[in-house]
């Protein structure tokens, strides 16, 4: 049995990029630990109920439910403040010294005796400042802890641009040309088609983020399962070491 630690910035990030591999590893008998840097309290919310619980508490409940559906063995929130969509929220994760946050994550890696750590690529995927910080902190923590394998969760930029070309009039594709990772640099393409239902269920757990407007989760949840499996049946990673 291996111990695999998945490091994410906010609740719902795990569902989009790594839920398939997490579910596969759990089903194969490995220990899966999900770590969120923040509770996502500064993000957008579909909740419009007067007097509703604080968003951070809601999103952590959703994260735990997503983790349950995936089959995770442990969920940890490091408790840093969400930096917001533009990364400018006061005291946000992006402003925390990398060495300080890396030391905390390294302690957790050592406690779990982790064999694998996943972070994001150096672009932070689509460039969110907290995601870039996850990359920096995770890489530094793995070095401190001596974690043998570090994988950068990403997407195939070339494939993504081909798929979205028909939407070039409504999507900011110029930004996407600098996002994620060129196909030639991807080292691992993991077949997770058997876990498509689990991955979609993990997305559905994040109800506060998955309804209303053109939110990413709202759109993806409506895809018919065959199309969802085609779009998300392979997860992409770049091995650092």
- Global pTM reads 0.92
What pLDDT does residue 42 have? Answer: 85
pLDDT tens-digit map of 186-233 = 999 999 999 999 999 999 999 888 654 446 777 777 788 888 898 899
pLDDT tens-digit map of 108-158 = 999 999 999 999 999 999 889 999 999 999 999 999 999 999 999 999 999
Give the C-alpha distances (Å, rounded to integers) separating 62 from 58, 59, 207, 220.
Answer: 6, 5, 7, 17
Instruction: Calculate ∠ Cα 228-23-2, nearest 5°.
Output: 150
Q: What is the overall mean pLDDT for the chain?
A: 89
What pLDDT does residue 165 have? Answer: 61
- Do 55 and 47 meet the contact criterion of CB atoms below 8 Å apart? yes
Task: Give first-to-last CA distance, the chain, whole Å.
Answer: 20
């Amino acid at each position: 049995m291996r111990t695999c630690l998945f490091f994410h910035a906010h609740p719902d990030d795990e569902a989009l990029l790594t839920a398939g591999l997490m579910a596969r590893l759990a089903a194969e008998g490995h220990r899966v630990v999900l770590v969120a840097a923040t509770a996502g309290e500064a993000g957008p919310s579909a909740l419009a109920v007067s007097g509703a619980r604080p968003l951070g508490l809601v999103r952590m409940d959703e994260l735990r439910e997503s983790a349950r559906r995936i089959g995770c063995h442990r969920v940890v929130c490091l408790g840093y403040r969400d930096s917001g969509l533009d990364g400018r929220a006061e005291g946000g994760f992006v402003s925390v010294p990398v060495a300080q946050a890396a030391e905390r994550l390294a302690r957790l890696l050592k406690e779990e005796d982790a064999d694998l750590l996943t972070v994001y690529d150096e672009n932070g995927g689509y460039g969110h400042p907290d995601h870039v910080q996850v990359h920096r902190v995770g890489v530094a923590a793995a070095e401190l802890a001596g974690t043998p394998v570090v994988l950068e969760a990403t997407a195939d930029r070339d494939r993504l641009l081909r798929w979205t070309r028909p939407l070039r009039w409504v999507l900011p594709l110029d930004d996407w040309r600098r996002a994620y990772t060129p196909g030639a640099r991807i080292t691992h393409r993991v077949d997770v088609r058997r876990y498509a239902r689990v991955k979609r269920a993990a997305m559905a757990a994040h109800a506060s983020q998955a309804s209303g407007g053109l939110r990413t989760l709202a759109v993806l949840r409506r895809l018919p399962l065959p199309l969802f499996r085609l779009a998300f049946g392979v997860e992409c990673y770049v091995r650092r070491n």
